[in-house]
Amino acid sequence: MKKIQNVDHDIYTAILAEQKRQSEGMELIASENYQSPAVLEAQSSVFANKYSEWFPGRRYYGGQENTDTIEQLAIDRAKEIFHADHANVQALSGAAANLCVYSALMNPGDTILGMDLSHGWHLTHGAPVTFFSKVFNFMRYKTKADGTVDFDQVRTLAHEYKPKIILAGFSAYPRELDYEKFVEIAKEVWAIAFADVSHIGGFIAAWLLKNPLDYGFHVMMTTTHKSLRGPRGALILSKWVVSNPLKKPDDTIENIPTRIDRAVFPGMQWWPHMNTIAAIAVALHEAATPAFKAYAEQALKNAQVLASELLALGYKLVTGWTENHMVILDFSGTELDWSVAEKTLDKIWISTSKSTIPDDPNPPFRPSGLRIGLPAMTTRGVKEEEVKQIVEYMDQAFKNKDNEEVLAELRNKVREISLKFPVPSL
C-alpha cells in the first residue's frame, strides 16, 4: 500500500476505511465473497496493460504469447470443472455475459421464457427497466406455493409463445431447480435451454449442486466472483448438442459455441480484461482443490444451520427452507420489512440485501424480504457455532431496532467475532 499512499492519499484513505469495514463487519450478502491473495495478485498483475481482442491463437494485435497462455488455461480449466465442451472467459460481468448469450442465440423481438422477478429472477432476465427488455420479449413463469417451479405453467407458456430460450436461473431462490424438466420442455418447443447459475457456480464446481450441463442444458453462465471466489467476471459455458434447437440449415451443432464467441467479440464487448482472465484462471485452479470443496461443503452446512435457527425463532422463510447457500426471510405480515431489517443490521455491521418474496405486495425497491448468504463468512472460517451466534445477534437487533444502546453492544459483539476470522488478503 506504500505506493498508493505516496501517490494518492484520498484513495489510500478510502482503501484503509474499506479494509476496516470488511475486517470488523460481517458480509452476509449472498452474492459476495473474498478473493484469495493469489487471485488478487493475478488481478493486479501486468496483464492489466495488454490489449488482447479476439481469442487465443488468433489475436488482432501482436505480443500475445503470454495472454494466449493464460486465456487458454482459463478456458481449459473452466471446461474441465464445469463439464463443458466450450468456454468463453472474456465477459466482463454476468450482465454482459447474459446479453452476449441472448444476442448470440436470438434476434430482436424473439422471446425468452424466464422466472418472474418476485419469484427470484435477476434484472438481466428481462426487467422492464433494462435495455434487454426493449430488444427481446420476456415471458415469465412463477413458483408454486411450495416454492418449486410451476412446470405446468412453464410448459403452457412455452407452447403458447415458442421462446427461443428457456432460462433457468435466479438471484434470490433458495432451492435446487429441476433441470431435467426444463430440458424436457425446451425439447418440446425447440428452444435453447440456458442456465444462469451465477450464484451457485462454486457449488457446481465442487460437485455439491447439480450441473445443468449434465442434464442436457445447451448453455450455462456463471459469474466468477460469487461462490466461485474469483475476480469479478463471468464464464459462458456450452455443450456441443446432438440436435439443432434453432432448426435452420446453417445452425450446425457447433454454432452455439461459435455464435457465443462471436457475440462476445466482435458483437458486444471487444476488449477483454486480461488481468481478470489471469485471476479467473487462478480461481479455477483453486476451485479444483480439496480446500475449495471443504469451503463449499461448509457454506451449504452453514446455510442449513442459518435456516433452522431462524425457523426455531419463529421467522418465516421463502420456500420454508434452503437447498443452497442462501436464505430469504419473509417479513410479510410483520412490522419489519427489508428497509427496517437491512438498516438495523447495517447498524451492527452485518451487511445483507433486500429481496422480493413471491408475488410481493410491495414494489421491488421496497420489498418484503431480506436475502442472507454465508459464502463470504465461510471463506473467513465461520462454522455452525458462529452461525448460531450470528442468528442470535440478528434476532436481538430486530427486537431492539429502536434501542441504540443495545445495537451498539451488538455491534461490539459482531466486531469481536469478525476479528477472529480475518479477511483472506488482509
**Active-site residue set:** 51, 53, 196, 223, 226, 232
Q: What CA–CA distance (Å, rounded) separates 202 from 223?
A: 9
Nearest to 77 by CA among 276, 246, 228, 280: 280
Which of 29, 185 has the CB closer to ligand DSN? 29
Distance, in Å, from the CA atom of 196 to the CA atom of 238, rounded to the nearest integer, reads: 12
State how far the Cα of 166 lies from the Cα of 162, in Å rounded to an integer. Answer: 9
CB of 31 to ligand DSN, least distance (A): 3
Range 9-38, binding ligand DSN (CB under 6 A): 31
Asked if 220 contacts 82 with a C-beta cutoff of 8 angstroms, the reply is yes
Residue closer to ligand DSN by CB (options 122, 239) is 122
Size of the site for ligand DSN (CB under 6 A): 3
CA distances from 360 to 117, 310, 337, 344 (A): 10, 21, 11, 21
Residue 122 in the binding site for ligand DSN (CB under 6 A): yes
CB of 105 or CB of 221, closer to ligand DSN: 221
Shortest distance in whole angstroms from residue 171 CB to ligand DSN:
3
CB 223 within 8 A of CB 192: no
The minimum distance between CB 172 and ligand DSN, in angstroms, equals 7
Q: Which is nearer to ligand DSN, 210 or 325 (CB)?
A: 325
Q: Are 168 and 219 in contact (CB under 8 A)?
A: no
Q: Name which of 169 and 257 has its Cβ closer to ligand DSN.
A: 169
Site for ligand DSN in 42-101 (CB under 6 A): none
C-alpha–C-alpha distance, residues 104 and 136, integer Å: 12
| Residue 122 Cβ vs ligand DSN, minimum distance, rounded to whole Å | 6
* Contact (Cβ atoms closer than 8 angstroms) between residue 162 and residue 186: no
Torsions phi, psi for 34 (to 5 deg): -115, 130
Other Cβ atoms within 10 Å of 298 Cβ, number? 18
Q: Does 118 bind ligand DSN (CB under 6 A)?
A: no
Does 140 bind ligand DSN (CB under 6 A)? Our answer is no
Report the residue number, 124 or 418, with the smaller CB distance to ligand DSN. 124
Please name the helix (run of DSSP H) or strand (run of DSSP E) that holds residue 134, with its range, or none.
Answer: helix 132-135
Give me the least distance between CB of 226 and ligand DSN, in Å please. 7
Whole-angstrom Cα distance, residue 124 to residue 194?
Answer: 13
CB of 222 within 8 A of CB of 232?
Answer: no
Characterize the bridge pairing of strands 26-27 and 54-55: unpaired
Q: How far is the CB of 205 from ligand DSN (least distance, A)?
A: 18
Q: Which of 286, 270, 284 is nearest to 92 (CA)?
A: 270
User: Does residue 171 bind ligand DSN (CB under 6 A)?
Assistant: yes
Asked if 224 and 32 touch (Cβ cutoff 8 Å), the reply is no
CA 251, 254, 260, 263 torsion: positive or negative?
Answer: negative
Residues that bind ligand DSN (CB under 6 A): 31, 122, 171
